């Protein structure tokens, strides 16, 4: 069974540009969450999507957005990139349906974004 796939693995962008990252969840998983990992702030929750709807959102500016498609694949977009957006962006998928209990998240290997 294939794991969570994130593309691209590495990305270099210039300040002010925008970037789109992609995440393909494990087959059958309907929930996709995104996290940002930096040396200074650690692992921080960005947002979660389930059935093409954003269910939860972390404390990030509106420059960070996402979406989920009908096949559960998800993308996140960062507009007007800043140097501080340089980070490892991790995607996680899980089986959890609304109202169910007992879930676990499986992570992809991440996309390393460098803003110069």
Partner 1 sequence: AQSVTQPDIHITVSEGASLELRCNYSYGATPYLFWYVQSPGQGLQLLLKYFSGDTLVQGIKGFEAEFKRSQSSFNLRKPSVHWSDAAEYFCAVGANDMRFGAGTRLTVKP
Q: Which is nearer to partner 1, 69 or 80 (CB)?
A: 69
DSSP class of 102: -
Q: Which is nearer to partner 1, 16 or 61 (CB)?
A: 61
**What phi, psi does 41 have (nearest 5°)?**
-105, -10
Q: Which of 74, 108, 113, 115 binds partner 1 (CB under 8 A)?
A: 108
**What phi, psi does 29 have (nearest 5°)?**
-85, 130
- Site for partner 1, residues 11 to 70, rule: CB under 8 A: 31, 33, 35, 42-45, 48, 50, 55-56, 58
Least distance CB 47 / partner 1 (angstroms):
8
Q: Which is nearer to partner 1, 14 or 40 (CB)?
A: 40
DSSP labels, 11-36: EEE-TT--EEEEEEPPTT--EEEEEE
Dist CA 13 CA 50 (whole Å): 29
Is there a contact between 6 and 23 (Cβ–Cβ < 8 Å)?
yes
Least distance CB 74 / partner 1 (angstroms):
12
* Sites of contact with partner 1 (CB under 8 A): 4, 31, 33, 35, 42-45, 48, 50, 55-56, 58, 90, 92, 94, 96, 101-110, 112
């Amino acid at each position: 069974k294939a794991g969570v796939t994130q593309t691209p693995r590495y990305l270099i962008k210039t300040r002010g540009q925008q970037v789109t990252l992609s995440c393909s969840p494990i087959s059958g998983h309907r929930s996709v969450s995104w996290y940002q990992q930096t040396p200074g702030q650690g692992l921080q929750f960005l947002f979660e999507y389930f059935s093409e709807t954003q269910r939860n959102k972390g404390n990030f500016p509106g420059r960070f957005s996402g979406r989920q498609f009908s096949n559960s694949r998800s993308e996140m977009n960062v507009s007007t990139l800043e140097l501080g957006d340089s980070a490892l962006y991790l995607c996680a998928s899980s089986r959890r349906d609304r109202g169910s209990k007992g879930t676990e998240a499986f992570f992809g290997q991440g996309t390393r974004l460098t803003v110069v």
